[in-house]
Structure 1
Amino acid sequence: MSWQQFKHAWLIKFWAPIPAVIAAGILSTYYFGITGTFWAVTGEFTRWGGQLLQLFGVHAEEWGYFKIIHLEGSPLTRIDGMMILGMFGGCFAAALWANNVKLRMPRSRIRIMQAIIGGIIAGFGARLAMGCNLAAFFTGIPQFSLHAWFFAIATAIGSWFGARFTLLPIFRIPVKMQKVSAASPLTQKPDQARRRFRLGMLIFFGMLGWALLTAMNQPKLGLAMLFGVGFGLLIERAQICFTSAFRDMWITGRTHMAKAIIIGMAVSAIGIFSYVQLGVEPKIMWRDQNAVIGGLLFGFGIVLAGGCETRLDVPRGRRPGALLVGRSGQRDRLNDSGVLLG
């Protein structure tokens, strides 16, 4: 296989979801076994929000919630923080390789309001349930935590209500028709594609170098960043999307992504069971009404907003990102379309 063939097949074309989600499940298993923690992002985002509030004189460290999830340190000294930075780098590099980066503003205020309101609802639900879909599907369920099953079922129900709600006429934006004489093929600027591919390589190897240098003094932090880069590449190249997995079942009847996630969870559960047998302590959360209510809110919110935290990457640059952090909730980013986002 020549370099150009490899580049097109693995760095530009999207990957099949099922093998990619299985790989993500395997990575999350090793991540748990090596670092002792689980693959999750919204808890760390909430810490970022708490530390942002501290800059404005708010004593967030005194809040009961932050005493549970711990507000000490910084993103550069926490395993979750380094992993998420690696995810950002991996996603951005992969998007640049394929020349799929473009910033644009939403064309409709309705989409902006969907993102903001849905984001607040989903963020509140994620914090109420002590985690989001990653914390439940790739950590909670494989680690045999009953709260994750409550959350997963409630999220599915909430996403059904969200799908029904977003089909209301108020969310239909007018489509402007333009007369053309023939179909126009999609084109790319070769020079721009080459520049972006090189920039993607620079970011990718820069992240690897940063991770390896960190690993020399703090092995777990460096390894966490390497895992994050791997997670980011898989999410962007395979377009892994939990929101579409739920939403598509209710709107179009497609279950391909949902099946991929189920298989990935099964693979992860086998590996995590092995680690638990070896003495690694599983991360078990309490199961109560908070998991059910949080799951309902999270499922409804992600469908309304058009995406969850796994879409923090920049595939095709469909929209700029934004954090909405509150005392009890957070959300990862804004979207400009309620149709094909995850």
Structure 2
Amino acid sequence: MWLTFKNQFFIKFWSPFAAVIAAGILSTYFFGLTGSLWAVTGEFTRWGGHILQWFGAEPESWQYFKIIGLQGTPLDRVGGVMIIGMFGGCLAAVLWANNMKLRMPSSKKRIAQALIGGMIAGFGARLAMGCNLAAFFTGIPQFTLHAWIFAFAAAAGTYIGAKITLLPFFRSTATVKLGGLKKIAKPNPNQVQNRFRLGWVVFAAMIVGSLYIMQSSTKLGIAMLMGIIFGLLIERAQICFTSAFRDMWITGRTHMAKAIILGMAVSVIGIYSYVQLGMTPKTLWAGPNAVIGGLLFGIGIVIAGGCETGWMYRALEGQVHFWWVGLGNIIGATILAYYWDDIAAPLATDWDKINLLDLFGPLGGLGVTYLLLGLSFVLILVWEQRFFKKQNSLKEAALANVAHQAEAASVKG
């Protein structure tokens, strides 16, 4: 019985569909209990600021850091302890499943792709004041118009990014060598058992750490605990927003995209309830920054091969490519913070912060949000049907062409 349970919940990957919906519910409680959003790039930008401080710079004087804050250390901030919890949860899950193996990028081109794509995504995310989480998955349930602008711009960006990655320059140059298939090495039973135990050590240490932090700040302790659960969810279910968009454009697979819509739909009513209880939703500027930032973010995550959540668990699995993606994210976000003063007014701060609950009234804003989510779901279904209809037509045309050539050859013979 234990082996079956262990295999089902610690070894096998979880259903991404159920996990994304669970993440939507959890992100709602995260907002209710901490007053903050499940978000990562803002904190990664602060990490970039701290690194600059180590070298004598004064990023705390930059306007961008005055907006998002750079006080204290990650252990003093909700986002900081939450991300530490996410890394801990991811690491525990990786160890439980013995899913850790150092995997180097196939070429220097891939490293450049990861770094540049990560920088573009990081820059775009912070220009829009959020990534696939704060400006999309957890942003839309906050009823902020800027999240909807970002979402559609990011979708367009991922489409452009998908087309870019299909260019010859981005195609793999790997060749098949003679010599047959290599024998797949069986996992070492001792290593598997030791890693499983180490995973529990990591998990226990994170829980103890969060309880210790809770002694001085209940909010920070809860944030870390919930971060651990977020980490478990994204690693065990391999949740990646990049693949949700990219797969839809390239292969027609919409399973993850549908799950994301449903996850947000579940979260919306929870956030609405908290707002009715007196909490203030997070609303940001609905300006060109959301459009440009969304486009850049969408292009960047597809070129890099991973988004802000995807690179975290893949990096801990030993995929070195995603170490570079993460580094690129931090660099790109920090560059945006440096240039923020020059572009803030025309692109962001001169524009209004529009919340749908204020614009249409409480019930009207709730209705409009569900209407837009429903429309998005329908558009995904239409795209899926159109994609596979086109694929079937191409197959039929190819078969007809082969038959025609065969018939012509027969007549000629």
TM range (shorter): over 0.9
SS at match of 1:132: coil
1:1-342 matched pairs, under 5 angstroms: 2-179=1-178, 184=183, 187-311=186-310, 312-314=312-314, 316-319=317-320, 321=323, 322-324=326-328, 325=331, 326-328=334-336
- Residue type of the alignment partner of 2:336: S
2: CA distance, partners of 1:103 / 1:75:
28
Contact 2:62 2:337 in 1 (8 A): no
Identical residues among aligned pairs (%): 63
User: Relative to 1, partners in 2 of residues 1:180 and 1:27: Cα closer, same or farther, differing over 3 Å?
Assistant: same
**1:103 positional shift:** 1.7
SS at match of 1:328: helix
2: CA distance, partners of 1:61 / 1:240:
34
User: Relative to 1, partners in 2 of residues 1:329 and 1:256: Cα closer, same or farther, differing over 3 Å?
Assistant: farther
Contact 1:138 1:268 in 2 (8 A): no
Contact 1:29 1:271 in 2 (8 A): yes
- Residue type of the alignment partner of 1:36: G
1: CA distance, partners of 2:173 / 2:288:
40
- Residue type of the alignment partner of 1:306: G
**1:186 positional shift:** 6.1
Farther off after superposition, 283-292 or 99-108: 99-108
* Cα shift readout 1:267-313 (whole Å, capped 9, x = no counterpart): 11111111111111111111100000000000000000000111211
**1:183 positional shift:** 8.0
Contact 1:159 1:299 in 2 (8 A): yes
Farther off after superposition, 291-300 or 183-192: 183-192
* Cα shift readout 1:223-246 (whole Å, capped 9, x = no counterpart): 000000000000000000100000
Contact 2:65 2:337 in 1 (8 A): no
Task: Give structure 1 stretches of 5+ with no counterpart.
Answer: 331-342
Give the structure with the larger helix fraction. Answer: 2
1:340 paired residue number: none
Which of structure 1's runs of 4+ aligned residues deviate more than 6 A?
none
SS at match of 1:327: helix
**1:176 positional shift:** 2.7
SS at match of 1:142: helix
Contact 2:129 2:135 in 1 (8 A): no
1: CA distance, partners of 2:255 / 2:182:
30
- Residue type of the alignment partner of 1:327: I
SS at match of 2:74: coil
2: CA distance, partners of 1:44 / 1:71:
9
- Residue type of the alignment partner of 1:132: C
Farther off after superposition, 14-23 or 181-190: 181-190
SS at match of 1:188: coil
* Cα shift readout 1:65-95 (whole Å, capped 9, x = no counterpart): 1111011111011010000000000001101
Q: Superposition RMSD on alpha carbons, in Å? A: 1.5
Farther off after superposition, 19-28 or 321-330: 321-330
1: CA distance, partners of 2:203 / 2:52:
32
Contact 1:128 1:291 in 2 (8 A): yes
1: CA distance, partners of 2:185 / 2:147:
43
Task: Give structure 2 stretches of 5+ with no counterpart.
Answer: 339-413
Contact 1:126 1:329 in 2 (8 A): no
SS at match of 1:76: helix
Contact 1:119 1:302 in 2 (8 A): yes
**1:184 positional shift:** 4.4
**1:110 positional shift:** 1.2
1: CA distance, partners of 2:181 / 2:117:
39
**1:182 positional shift:** 6.5
- Residue type of the alignment partner of 2:229: G
- Residue type of the alignment partner of 2:152: I
2: CA distance, partners of 1:66 / 1:221:
21
Contact 1:158 1:299 in 2 (8 A): yes
The higher relative CO (CA closer than 8 Å, separation ≥ 6) is in 1
* Cα shift readout 1:116-162 (whole Å, capped 9, x = no counterpart): 11111111101100010111223210010000000000000000000
Q: Quick check: which has more Rg, 1 or 2?
A: 2
Contact 2:136 2:150 in 1 (8 A): no
1:337 paired residue number: none
* Cα shift readout 1:185-235 (whole Å, capped 9, x = no counterpart): 563111111111111110001100111121122111110000000000000
